[in-house]
Amino acid sequence: METQSAVAATTLSYAYPDGTEALSDITFDVARGETVGLVGPNGAGKTTVFLCLAGVLQASAESLQVAGLDPRNSNDRKQLPARVGIIFQNSDDQLFSTTIKDDVAFGPLNLGLSSDEVRNRVAEALGQVGLTGFDERVPMHLSGGEKRRAAIAGVLAMKPEILLLDEPSMFLDPRGRRELIGLLNTLAITKIIASHDLDMILDTCQRVLVLDHGKIVAQGLAQTLLGDAALMSAHGLEVPYRLR
Ligand code: ADP
C-alpha cells in the first residue's frame, strides 16, 4: 500500500536542537498525483514538515516514505534531491546564476546528465513555466512572478516525483499570483503547497491538512475545512474570500 502513496508519514515528530518541539506525532498520506494544501499560522510547523520530508532535518517516525525513499536513511537521503524538489518562499534564495539558463541547468548538471540532455531539460522546463526565450535573461532583473516561475523551472528540470512549495504566492502581485495558480494547476506532478494564502490553496488543492502547534488538527476536503469559520479562527486562519 505504501508504494501507492507519494508520501506516507506515521507519527512524524521533530524537535529542534534548542528543544522546540516543532512537530509532534503527525500522520498523513499524499497520493501520487495529488495536490495537498498544508495550511496553518506562522510557526505551525509547515516549513519543518518540508525539511523533514526532504531529509534536511532528521525526523523521528514510526514510518516515513517519500517518493519511495526513507529520508531517515542516509543512503536514501542522497537520492532525495533528484526526486523531491523544494520551492522556497523567497526565489532570490534559489536563483544565483548570471542567466536563467544556467540557473535552470544547475540541478540537471549535478545529476551528471549529458549536455544535450541538460539543454533539452532546460528548454522543456522553461516551456512548462511559460518562460520560453528567457534563457539569457538575468534572474535579478525579472519580476517577482517571473523569478518564482524560474525557480520552479529549476526544480522541474530535475524531473522530480514530488514538489514541495513553501508559501509560493508570497511577495507576488495579483497578476504574478494568478499566473502561479494557473501554472500549478497545469503541473500533473504530486504537490504539497504550504501557505496561509487560503484562496490560493482553494484554487489549487482538493484536500488540505490543517497544522497548528506542530499537530495536524484537521484533514479533509479543502472546500469543507477552509469554509469552516470556527476551525479557521481557532487556528489563526480566515475563511477564503471565495467561501464567505
Ligand atoms: P511555519 O513554517 O508553519 O511558519 P516552522 O516550521 O518554521 O513553522 O516553525 C515551527 C516551530 O519551530 C516554530 O515554533 C518555530 O519557532 C520553531 N523553529 C523553526 N526553526 C527553528 C530553529 N532553527 N530552531 C529552533 N526552533 C525553530
CATH of the domain at 238: 3.40.50.300
60 Cα–ligand 1 center, Å = 16
CB atoms near residue 26 (< 10 Å) = 23
Side by side, the strands of the sheet bearing 162-166 are 84-87, 162-166, 190-195, 35-39, 207-212, 215-221
Q: Do residues 118 and 5 both lie within one domain?
A: no
Q: Do residues 112 and 39 both lie within one domain?
A: no
Predicted local distance difference test score (pLDDT) of residue 89: 84
- In this prediction, the residues of the chain whose per-residue pLDDT falls under 50 are 1-2
Q: Do residues 60 and 170 both lie within one domain?
A: yes
Q: Take atom 24 of ligand 1 and give the residue whose Cα is closest.
A: 16
Q: Do residues 170 and 229 both lie within one domain?
A: yes
Predicted local distance difference test score (pLDDT) of residue 215: 98
Predicted local distance difference test score (pLDDT) of residue 2: 45
Domain end call among 128, 159, 190: 159
Predicted local distance difference test score (pLDDT) of residue 1: 46
Residues within a 6 A CB radius of ligand 1: 16, 18, 20, 22, 40, 42-48
- Is 67 in a helix, a strand, or coil? coil
Predicted local distance difference test score (pLDDT) of residue 3: 55
- Is 152 in a helix, a strand, or coil? helix
Best probe residue, ligand 1, of 13, 16, 198 (max atoms within 8 Å of C-beta): 16
- Axis crossing angle, helix 144-156 with helix 115-128, rounded to the nearest 10: 140
Nearest to 184 by CA among 147, 219, 152, 142: 152
Read off the pTM. 0.95
Q: Do residues 109 and 208 both lie within one domain?
A: no
Domain of 118?
A: 91-159
